[in-house]
Structure 1
Amino acid sequence: MKIQRLYIPIIVALAMAVGLVLGSILNFPAQGGGIGIASGSNKSKLNKLMDFIDNEYVDDVNTDSIVDLTVNSILEKLDPHSVYINKEEMEQVSQSMRGDFVGIGVNFYMYKDSVAVIKPVPGGPSDKAGIKAGDRILYADNYKLFGRKLPNDTLFSKLKGEEGSKLTLTVFRKSTKKQFKVNLTRDVVPIKSVDAAVMANPGVGYIKVNRFAETTADEFHTALADLKKQGATSIIVDLRDNGGGYLEKAVEIADEFLTKGQLIVKTKNKKGRIDETKATGDGIFETGKLFVLINENSASASEILAGAIQDNDRGTIVGRRSFGKGLVQREMPLGDGSAVRLTVARYYTPSGRSIQRSYANGGEDYYNDFQKRYESGELYAADSIKVADTLKFKTIKGRTVYGGGGIVPDLFVALEGKHGDEALSQVMQSGIVSYFIFEQLDKDRTGFTGMNATQITDKVSTGDKYFNAFNKYLLSNGLVFQLDKYNARVKHYLAAEFCRQLLSEKAYYEMILKEDNMVKAVLAEKK
């Protein structure tokens, strides 16, 4: 498979923005009814203009697209987080925040014009039907999927469907060189928002949260309880690259750690109404050491959780200054399947600070903040972080914290690698590594049969077979790196991805955490 040619600055910018476009605009579930675009004479003016274009304009025009442009233009004048979601995008957005979808339950990608199964979702319909990693799905019922360069939306439409609906797949298994049919029933497949819950060290539990969706608080509670049973007396909550989601889910997770009556967050709307949310005292980890990991992409609900922990002096915030988003949105349907997510309030941390960055120079400048942080050296040195001295606030124990631009960590950890090496770190945790490992396994999956994580690591790390192959793979996809000086680091990431595809997400994270600079900083802090 050829991956579209990329360039290093683009990779960094895209990777650093993961989650922010969706996550930063989702704080409240949908409420209320539709909302009009305008009122009175202005509304009438817009309606008349659309009628004139429909009935009198010389050419045929898709007025729906004009309305979309109009709505977007209006929202752009408000703030960077008030956005319009057209009806085509709404299902995908809703599905992500719901935390599940109905389908066959496989991770796949188009490899040499065929649908290649990277891994079936454990316990999903495909897994139950016996589909394995490496299988090719040739037909969905009688619809041909291979050799056609089908777009993803067409593929998804053939594999998804109503819950309980039947589907016959024609599958080719490379390991046996046999073609066969599989009958399965589409079912609800969870989209996990808690990526991992593992022991990072004896007594230290680690939970990675990728967004705050409807199921997140329940997933988190289950993970936290399980880690406690395994002997965790300290917890690391990883919110790096978590662009946010539902405010109420961040509140529920904060409640796991705070004692009854402690303030978690307060919001203030246009009419000046202030709502305060306090801990209930029902949390299952109200004592014990707590560390929260954040970076420049931790936004919105992530900042609510981090701010509540910091202002109540409940734990240590570790990493780099967070994104700086302190606005609350509500989803308002427009009646045709589309919706607008409109900013309806500001939120404040328990000490009273707003962490919203200025957006006075427009959305483009606002979302290019990473470049400014990079150029200023903030991502590599704590003393380069610029805070507003006039926006000082006090935590419960009297420590000084600052508002006006994100959560500043208590313990700073620089961006991984030396200044200028950040692109490699992003690439090593991107999809290109996943595709490379799949293709290596596709050549010799039986060579890894029965191996555990240690054996897989030894196989990948001994010699330069996979290192050299990966370097060649990057070059073939237009990515040029001087990998030799990162030999051990690259092999470590490759071995971890082998473990993910052959074993589990748990095995992957157990490996990755061994070389994670923020986790290392936490473990050093505990000693």
Structure 2
Amino acid sequence: MSKAKIYFPLIIGVAIAAGIFIGGKLNFGDTSDKLFTANSKKDKLNRLIDYIDYEYVEDVNTDSIVDVTVNGILNNLDPHSVYIPKEDMQKVTENMKGNFVGIGINFYTFKDTITVIKTIENGPSAKAGIVGGDRIVSANGESLLGGGYDNDTLVDKLKGERYSNLILEVFRKGTPDLLSFDVTRDEVSIKSVDAAYMLTETLGYIKINRFAESTYKEFSKALKNLKKQGATGLALDLRGNPGGFLEIAVSIVDEFLEDDKLVVYTRNKKGKEDRSYATSRGEFEEGHVYVMIDENSASASEIIAGALQDNDKGTIVGRRSYGKGLVQREMKLGDGSAVRLTVSKYYTPTGRSIQRSYENGNRDYYDDFADRLNRGELLDEKKIEVADSLKFKTPKGNIVYGGGGIIPDVFVPYDTSMQNETLTFLEKRGYLNNFIFEQLDKDRATYAAISKSDFFENFTISDTMVHALEDYLKLKTRSNIVFVAYKEEVKHYLKATLAEQLFGFGAYFKILNKHDIMIDKVIDLNQTSSN
């Protein structure tokens, strides 16, 4: 097993700790006066910083010392209490809100020119008439040619205040003159629902990538559309979902549970509990839900799986989840930075805490995935370690366990045939996306003539395109990557990426899911229950 495969989920885990939290409506019992009164411990730190500022022999950036100190303190608490520097706050906030103010394009610099890969559906650029393949030559009269800007600088030049205007000059293949577009900056959605479509005539599918402020609204709309199409069952895909807002998870669970069923409760250091119950608004209480989880499903994903499992509702399918049962609250530090501090623990309806141990330190905590892999747990459910002392019973008498994640009702092993660390790396670094754009850009008219249904059913990626990808990667990465051993897998990912650029929302996963053993298992379960 390569180190890349072992440490990939470690990166996911760090992202969970650094960027995702399940803040609830929690309040401190003490006032700010009590919290911030002077004491000797604070005086000691203040004096030390002052001494370094005024007396140390060399000039020192004490801001960086403070950052290191804050991180050092938090690292000694738990793995999910984290510091957010001022420069990262906007991006983190936008991600959790589910939108940002901008012009709504996905781009990269191709041959020293900002090139639009695709516009965001219903975004400002799409409304103005900009399309994939357009080259942005200038913005408000300032030339953007020459490749002299990094991506962050380009984003800054394109973003701005909401409702402000940006005049873009654009070169479009086949058009002799430059085109001018007046784009009004506006809120652009960062989608948290990746896909929503029918797997069978009666089984719908929704994939959620995180739980942001906008997630419930996206989910509710998708669920209603699937019901109109005849969905009586739902595959809710939470694989790889690191979590987000607790109250959003509660709202989603509410769609499946009957009135007054306990969803989750939190308990702080003083023993105060805050309980959340299902209401009367459930949209899918009569339908059967299959919740798909894996080793990277965390936090709010586990709240949903745990709430349904403990209420004997639906079926949890997949592998044991991540095991994060701590609740963070964001607190401003006065200089634009913030901390997300663990303020309580959450418990599933039967009383389970699914937080795995971090007694041996953060490094050991994040190495847990490697331990599961080495034990063989990802391939054999019998290798999952459980403790009888953490055994709980659901209302119908089913046995469930606490301490270290949600154990699924139906186990599906890790699919080694579709997991390739090289391909995963290339996808996440954008190489596949950029390569497909360049292939598409060579002959957009031909691809435009292919209908969506014909593409999904009949279009195939040629061996020639796979060889072209190998040549592309050799140029971009200066390494000789050859796909002989897993050519069909590469073709599958290339077709999914091409589908996304051609047809937008949901197309990528609709292609990718055709060779997904967990989805196949859910379809089988649903057909068996219907017979």
TM-score bracket, normalised by the shorter chain, equals over 0.9
Separation in 2, partners of 1:181, 1:118 = 18
Structure 2 residue identity aligned to 1:426: T
Q: Determine whether 1:265 maps to 2:261.
A: no
* Counterpart residue number, 1:41: 40
SS of residue in 2 equivalent to 1:74: helix
Determine the structure 1 residue equivalent to 2:317. Answer: 318
SS at match of 1:170: strand
CA shift, 1:317, in A, is 0.7
**1:514 is matched by which residue type in structure 2?**
K
Q: C-alpha offsets along residues 2-22 of structure 1, whole Å, 9 cap, x if unaligned?
A: xxxx99448834775485244
Question: 1:474 offset after TM fit, Å?
Answer: 3.9
Native 8 Å contact 1:325 1:406 kept in 2: yes
2:40 alignment partner, SS class: helix
Q: 1:38 to 1:303 in 2, by over 3 A?
A: farther
More moved, 169-178 vs 489-498 = 169-178
Q: How does 1:61-140 map to 2 (within 5 A)?
A: 61-140=60-139
- Partner amino acid, structure 2, of 1:216: T
Preserved contact between residue 37 and residue 43 of structure 1 (Cα < 8 Å): no
Q: What amino acid does structure 1 have at the position aligned with 2:421?
A: A
Residue in structure 2 matching 1:12, options 8, 11, 20? 8
List, as ranges, runs of 4+ consecutive aligned residues in structure 1 with deviation greater than 4 Å: 6-11, 13-19, 29-39, 457-460, 478-482
Q: Is the 8 A contact 1:268 1:275 kept in 2?
A: yes
User: 1:237-252 alignment to 2 at 5 Å?
Assistant: 237-252=236-251
Asked whether the equivalents of residues 427 and 433 of structure 1 are also in contact (C-alpha less than 8 Å), the reply is no
When the two chains are superposed, the root-mean-square deviation of aligned CA atoms in Å is 2.5
Q: Secondary structure at the match of 1:335?
A: coil
* One-letter code aligned to 2:171: F
Aligned partner of residue 64 in structure 1, secondary structure: helix
The answer for the alignment partner of 1:400 in structure 2 is 399
Q: What's the CA shift for 1:161?
A: 0.7
- Give CA deviations for 1:353-408 in whole Å, capped at 9, x if unaligned: 11001111221221222222222221222122122232111112111111110011
Match in the other structure for 2:377:
378
In 2, Cα distance between the equivalents of 1:440 and 1:40?
A: 64
- Do the aligned partners of 2:195 and 2:510 also contact (CA within 8 Å) in 1? no
- What TM-score does the superposition give when structure 1 sets the normalisation length? 0.92
* Matched residue type, 2:57: V
Match of 1:491 in 2: 491
Which residue of structure 2 aligns with residue 504 of structure 1? 504
Write the distance in 2 (CA, Å) between the matches of 1:346 and 1:423: 34
Alignment match, 2:465: 466
The separation in 1 between residues aligned to 2:176 and 2:22, in whole angstroms, is 47
**CA deviation vs aligned residue, 1:482-510 (integer Å, no higher than 9, x gap):** 63343333222221221110112233332
CA distance in 2, matches of 1:175, 1:30: 58
Please tell me the residue identity of whatever aligns with 1:473: Y
The worse-fitting range, judged by mean Cα deviation, of 50-59 and 158-167 is 50-59
Q: Which amino acid aligns with 1:445?
A: R
C-alpha displacement at 1:59, in angstroms? 2.1
Is residue 21 of structure 2 the alignment partner of residue 25 of structure 1?
A: yes
Query: Which 10-residue stretch deviates more, 473-482 or 489-498?
Result: 473-482
Q: Which 10-residue stretch deviates more, 321-330 or 56-65?
A: 56-65
Partner Cα separation in structure 1 for residue 186 and residue 32 of structure 2 = 31
The one-letter amino acid of 1:190's match is: S
Task: Name the CA shift for 1:39/1:366 in 2 (closer, same or farther; >3 Å).
Answer: farther
Instruction: Name the structure 2 match of 1:3.
Output: none
Q: Could you tell me whether the CA contact under 8 Å between 1:380 and 1:414 is conserved in 2?
A: yes
Question: In the alignment, which residue of structure 1 is the partner of 2:340?
Answer: 341
Q: Deviations over 1:172-224 (max 9, x none)?
A: 22343643332211111111111111111111111111111111111111111
Number of matched residues?
Answer: 521
The 3-state SS of whatever aligns with 2:197 is strand
- Contact 1:23/1:242 (<8 A) preserved: no
Query: Is 1:434 aligned to residue 430 of structure 2?
Result: no
Aligned to 2:447: 448
Q: Counterparts of 1:437 and 1:459 in 2: how far apart (Å)?
A: 18
Unaligned stretches of 5+ in structure 2?
A: none
Aligned twin of 2:353 = 354
Higher relative contact order (CA 8 A, sep 6+): 1
**Alignment identity in percent?**
52
Contact 2:263 2:307 in 1 (8 A): yes
Q: Distance in 1 between matches of 2:42 and 2:12?
A: 40
Question: Deviation string for 1:258-282 (max 9, x for gaps)?
Answer: 0011110011101011222111121
3-state SS in 2 of match to 1:512: helix
Matched, 1:193 2:189: no
Which amino acid is 2:499 matched to?
A: C
Question: Residues 70 and 250 (structure 1 numbering): CA distance in 2 closer, same or farther, change over 3 Å?
Answer: same
Bigger CA drift: 46-55 or 504-513?
504-513
Query: What is the alpha-carbon distance in structure 2 between the residues aligned to residue 328 and residue 97 of structure 1?
Result: 15
SS at match of 2:212: coil
How far did 1:516 drift?
Answer: 1.6
Give the TM-score, by structure 2 length.
0.92
Q: Which deviates more, 325-334 or 422-431?
A: 422-431
